[in-house]
Amino acid sequence: MLISVFKRNLFVNSLLLLPLTALVRVFSLIFHEKIETNKEGGILYEFVIDILPENSLLYSFISIFIVFFTAVLINRLVIKNRIANEITLLPGLFFILMVSLSPEMLGLSSLQFGLLFIILGFISLFKSYKKYSSEMLLFNTGFYIGIASLFCNNLVVFIIPVLFGYISIRSFNFRELFQLFSGLILIVYFYTFYLFWAGESFAFSPFTYNSIKDVYSGNISIKIILTIYLALTLVLLFTYRSFIIKKSIQSQKKINILLWYLILTFLLIWIFDQVFWFGYFYLIAFGLSYFTSAIFLRLKNKMISEIVYVIIVFSILIYQFIFYF
């Protein structure tokens, strides 16, 4: 599938993201016994794992579909809010590529489910822009973050990027702020009631600090992928003005929210967890997906863009099938 196919926003082209996802994650289908599934997470994720049979191949299929649906949601977020200069499917495409760089990223994890609801939260938040009555949208935003935290408890801290987003696109209002937090509090209340009824305690990672040195002392794949992500982030920061120039105020504010999400995600990951694990790359990839696609669209020569795309796909497959062994 040529990348030019995904430069047009057609329903059929969106469906083609599914076979592309399967292609770049085919390692998990062929060597599914080598793919590690993280079975730890929040109450909803543990429920999902419990009802699934002990079959890592099934986990791989579910992971592929979740990544595909996440890419579709990202494209919807970017297109509906007129964030990009061109209406394309590239943000979702690059998300798929960025979360398939290494075999360690192909397993099912709680953060894959949680990210779906984080994106739904941002979609709801963006809809509230210049809406006179937005209490229900803000409630839904907090509610989605709460649902995400039921898949991975630490995702509750992503109410912080949402709060930054709220301040960016709406005038400060205590009633609206209450609605935003009430959606989250409702989930936390019922979750706490369940834990009390089940005689369990709330599991949350302690505050800690991970320096760049700590992260880079780990897995070689983490070093490589994190270097790629950080390089993309630096390019984004140095060229940020080009992303917002000649954009409407609404688009500029929403692009600023995505930037703040990306920066805060890096900070929250290093502050709130003792170990940097591959699932966190999903959270970072969401923040990078639009910006990476916008950078790629600056390649005006169609042949060069196709060659770069093919090189990226083949590099992913080569790393998975050759370097990994």
Instruction: Output DSSP code: residue 206.
Output: P
What percentage of the chain has pLDDT greater than the value 70?
Answer: 91
What percentage of the chain has pLDDT greater than the value 90?
Answer: 54
User: What SS3 class is residue 65?
Assistant: helix
Handedness of CA 88, 89, 90, 95 (dihedral sign): positive
**261-307 pLDDT per residue, tens:** 999 998 887 776 555 677 889 999 999 999 999 999 988 888 999 99
Q: What is the pTM of this model?
A: 0.92
**243-263 pLDDT per residue, tens:** 988 888 999 999 999 999 999
pLDDT given at position 274? 53
φ, ψ (nearest 5 deg) of residue 268: -65, -35
The C-alpha angle 244, 248, 249, rounded to 5 degrees, equals: 85
Render the burial of 114-152: b for 16+ CB within 10 Å, e for the rest: bbbbbbbbbbbbbbbbeeeebbebbbbbbbbbbbbbbbb
Q: 3-state SS of 213-245?
A: HHHHCCCHHHHHHHHHHHHHHHHHHHCCHHHHC
Domain count, the chain: 1
Structure tokens at 211: 């320096």
Structural domain harbouring 261: 3-323
The mean-pLDDT minimum among 36-50, 60-74, 208-222 falls in 208-222
pLDDT given at position 207? 41
